[in-house]
Amino acid sequence: MIKISDINKIREDFYLLKNSDLTYLDNAASSLKPQQVIDALNYYNEKLGVNVHRGVYKLSYEATDLYEKARQKVADFIHCKFKEVVFTRGASSALNLVASSYGMKYINEGDEIITSELEHHSSMLPWQHVAKVKKAKLIYVPLDAEHRITIENFKKVLTHKTKVVALTHASNVMGYITPIKEIIKLAHEVGAVVSVDGAQSVPHMKVDVKELDCDFISFSGHKMCGPTGIGVLYGKYKLLQSMDPVEFGGDMIDYVYLQDVTFKDAPYKFETGTPIIAGAIGIGAAIDYLNEIGFDFIESQESKLRIYALTQLKNIEGLQLFNPNTDTGIISFNIEGVHPHDVASAFDQENVAIRAGHHCAQPLMNCLKQVATVRASFYFYNTEKDIDNLVEAIKKAKEFFDLFK
């Protein structure tokens, strides 16, 4: 069990936290990667470097073993079966796979697909495309006054025509947790299938897909201490088996005839070509690392930082806080009269890394009536000192831009 007092030891695992004065608050975009993950990647690249599933020699056997062990680690991590884990390039690819495989097969004219304005573009655009091609209807859950998805509002749009519900588990701009378990239950009552965007939830909280009973969940390695270029699609096995592959070629076939082909079972029929071997080994190492830290620590550290940050930010005059009731370590704000990109440049001078922009959520920016926001997002390795640096940077930026008033 990791104790709060071990935070400095944790920070030693991250090169930038150990060797620079960087205040890294852009974790919702990508987390930093600990040495343990880098070592695992190096081990594969340096000591193995060979392909999987194909070679009979020892090195290939070990690479295959590590690749498939990583799949088991993911399965244990989110509490599903080994064969329900499909490796993808990232959350976006996983979300797209659900739409282009399940959606294109099962959505028909007049069907309804429910999504929300809180979504990341990667969660809603694949379904917008399916809806256009299939002449289905894309329906948005009305957000409440705080821009949350509520069960009450979800009930208003759920009908017997609803075939798919594509919603985020945790918003990457507002930090809200969607009451997804209840939503899934309601959706199942009308026979709809639920695809959850777990890109911002899986790295930060214990997600148990069996308990949620979700049909699909997608997430990325690079937001949870893993490398870029790897992500996961979890799907209930029956659903995965019923779906058609969207990419054809090496590794995913059973038998190839001149005019026909049979495919491997899921998950392999969705992993065409040489798989993301290093990436999978990397996300496996990231999961080992997160397990060692433990979600008790991760959640308590992030919640402590959230309360500490909000208390201070609420008291800064001229700071427009968009989500004072955020559920996670994601805080969105603007400094009145200063464009978010100017804020970001000012913060950069203080070595405070945040994100300024529309966060791939343009519909939400319209709801907030902003072209862009500044977003600070924490992870378990952040400290109160990081928040102090953020607050200092805000004050300094305000003071600087006030000079031109």
Partner 1 sequence: MSYGNLETLYRQVIMDHYKNPRNKGLKDGDDFYKIHLKNPTCGDDITIQVKIDNGMITDVYQDGTGCSISMSAASVMSETIKGKTVEEAFKILDNYLNMVKGEKFDAELEMGDAIVYQGVAQFPARFKCATIAWKALAQVMDEHNGNCTCDHEE
Ligand X SMILES: Cc1ncc(COP(=O)(O)O)c(C=O)c1O
Residues that bind ligand X (CB under 6 A): 28, 90-92, 120, 122-123, 168, 172, 197, 199-200, 220, 360
CA distance 178 to 171: 8
CA distance 73 to 82: 9
Binds partner 1 (CB under 8 A): choice among 8, 45, 325, 349: 349
Binds partner 1 (CB under 8 A): choice among 73, 147, 223, 358: 358
Binds partner 1 (CB under 8 A): choice among 70, 372, 391, 394: 372
Least CB distance from residue 134 to ligand X, whole Å?
A: 23
Using the minimum distance from each CB to partner 1, give the nearer residue, 148 or 358. 358
346 binds, among partner 1, ligand X, none (CB under 5 to 8 A by kind): partner 1
Answer whether 138's CB lies under 8 Å from 113's CB: yes
Helix axis angle for 35-42 and 277-293, nearest 10°, is 150
| Pairing of β 253-256 and β 231-235 | unpaired
220 binds, among ligand X, partner 1, none (CB under 5 to 8 A by kind): ligand X
Q: How many residues sit in the footprint of partner 1 (CB under 8 A)?
A: 21
| Cα–Cα distance list, 48 to 58, 85, 243, 280, 303 (Å) | 10, 23, 34, 14, 41
Residue 375 bridge partners (DSSP) = 332, 355
Least CB distance from residue 260 to ligand X, whole Å?
A: 34
CA angle at residue 120 from 116 to 124, to 5 degrees?
Answer: 55
Residue 360 is among the residues annotated as catalytic for this protein: yes
Using the minimum distance from each CB to ligand X, give the nearer residue, 86 or 393. 86
Least CB distance from residue 26 to ligand X, whole Å?
A: 11
400 binds, among ligand X, partner 1, none (CB under 5 to 8 A by kind): partner 1
CB atoms near residue 320 (< 10 Å): 15
84 binds, among ligand X, partner 1, none (CB under 5 to 8 A by kind): none
Stretch that binds partner 1, among 53-61, 150-158, 206-214, 351-359 (CB under 8 A): 351-359
Stretch that binds partner 1, among 146-154, 182-190, 287-295, 340-348 (CB under 8 A): 340-348
Tokens, residue 41: 């990647």
CA proximity to 212, closest of 240, 178, 241: 178
CA proximity to 287, closest of 139, 69, 17: 69
Binding site for partner 1 (CB under 8 A): 338-342, 344-346, 348-349, 356-358, 365, 371-372, 396, 399-401, 404
Residues with a known catalytic role: 360
